[in-house]
């Protein structure tokens, strides 16, 4: 057997590749379009909850993308609520890529940054097709890893006049607002409560990390015509939220309809979100198979659980750019 090598990219290699906002969005939008056209395979995520005496779990995501990417992938990412107490991010991840014809491993990559970037990109691509074109005010709940890329990539598309953020801990939300203000070159306001953050916003993103379901985001605060993205691990919305929606969109119905976690789990169990009430998967809209926003008056909800396809597509783009720069490490597998 000939020697087998794979590429290893650590966090510093991924940072060196320095994908632009445009490159990140293009990779994710292309993968969503392929999903909509049936050129991918996605398996619903599964979870592992260790009995380690802490609040946290692992997500395992699996998928395959054809076309020029032509890769299978498995990502394992941990989500541990109290990591901040040790000065650690809440999420650590590893992405493994494989040749879909032989099963041979081709790459191992730090997926913590990839998870953050691809999540923000899915939020932003969803807004591109589902938010009002003239959206000028963003209200964002949550300040953990994915939150930064939600705000940054949304602002790259909409150039907001007002950005408000909120999270449970003052030190967290204030630091988050300060970092965004520096990076975006505009004022970002840290609010002291949920209502002042999201009320009257054109786009509302709920990326909280609650320990148990609690209806913190009130339906009455959502203005007509808004675009709402709730994707917290535990539900932070009222059961009535889906009642005011003109359209409800998900990233993948297969994984949204089952499992323990997710912002709209109770809505699925109550039958408020079902195959009958679902408008589309985002990939179908990006591929042009179903309409996105058709009127400014529509109030639209987008729930995404996170796609393995997004990890694979972004991982592929990073690998390609890193190789051109000579970044990364060649490891012998066999």
- The 10s digit of each residue's pLDDT in 217-228 is 999 999 999 999
* pLDDT tens, position by position, 288-311: 999 999 999 999 999 998 899 999
Q: Using one digit for the tens of pLDDT, what is the confidence trace for 53-72? A: 898 999 999 999 999 999 99
Task: Tell me the CB-side half-sphere exposure of residue 54, using CA atoms within 13 A.
Answer: 14
Decide: residue 157, CB within 10 A, 0-12 exposed, 13-18 middle, 19+ buried.
middle
Give the pLDDT of residue 258. 83
Helix residue ranges per DSSP H, the chain:
11-17, 21-36, 112-130, 145-158, 170-184, 194-198, 253-256, 265-269, 282-286, 308-325
Tell how strand 71-80 and strand 56-65 pair up. Answer: antiparallel
């Amino acid at each position: 057997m000939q020697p087998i090598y794979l590429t290893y990219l650590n966090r510093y290699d991924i940072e060196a590749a320095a994908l632009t906002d445009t490159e990140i969005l293009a990779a994710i939008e292309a993968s969503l379009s392929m999903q909509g056209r049936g050129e991918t395979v996605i398996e619903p995520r599964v979870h592992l909850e260790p009995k380690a005496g802490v609040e946290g779990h692992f997500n395992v995501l699996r998928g395959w993308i054809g076309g020029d990417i032509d890769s299978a992938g498995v990502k394992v990412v941990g989500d541990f609520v109290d990591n901040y107490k040790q000065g650690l991010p809440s999420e650590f991840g590893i992405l493994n890529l494989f040749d879909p014809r032989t099963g041979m491993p081709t790459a191992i990559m730090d997926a913590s940054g990839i998870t953050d970037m691809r999540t923000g990109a899915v939020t932003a691509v969803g807004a591109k097709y589902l938010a009002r074109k003239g959206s000028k005010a963003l209200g964002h709940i949550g300040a953990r890893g994915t939150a930064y890329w939600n705000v940054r990539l949304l602002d790259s598309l909409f150039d907001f006049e007002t950005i408000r953020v909120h999270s449970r801990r003052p030190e967290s939300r204030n630091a988050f607002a300060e970092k965004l203000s520096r990076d975006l070159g505009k004022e970002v306001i840290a609010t002291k409560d949920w209502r002042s953050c999201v009320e009257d916003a054109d786009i509302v993103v709920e990326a909280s990390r609650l320990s148990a379901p609690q209806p913190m985001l009130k339906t009455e605060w959502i203005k007509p015509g808004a675009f709402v993205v709730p994707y917290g691990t535990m539900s932070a919305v009222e059961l009535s939220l889906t009642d005011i929606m003109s359209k409800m969109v998900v990233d993948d119905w297969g994984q949204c309809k089952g499992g323990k976690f997710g912002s709209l789990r109770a809505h699925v169990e109550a039958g408020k979100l079902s195959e009958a009430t679902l408008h589309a998967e985002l990939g179908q809209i990006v591929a042009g198979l179903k309409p996105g926003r058709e009127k400014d008056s529509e109030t639209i909800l987008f729930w995404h659980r996170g796609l393995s396809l997004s990890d694979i597509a972004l991982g592929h783009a990073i690998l390609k750019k890193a190789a051109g720069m000579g970044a990364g490490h060649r490891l012998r597998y066999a």
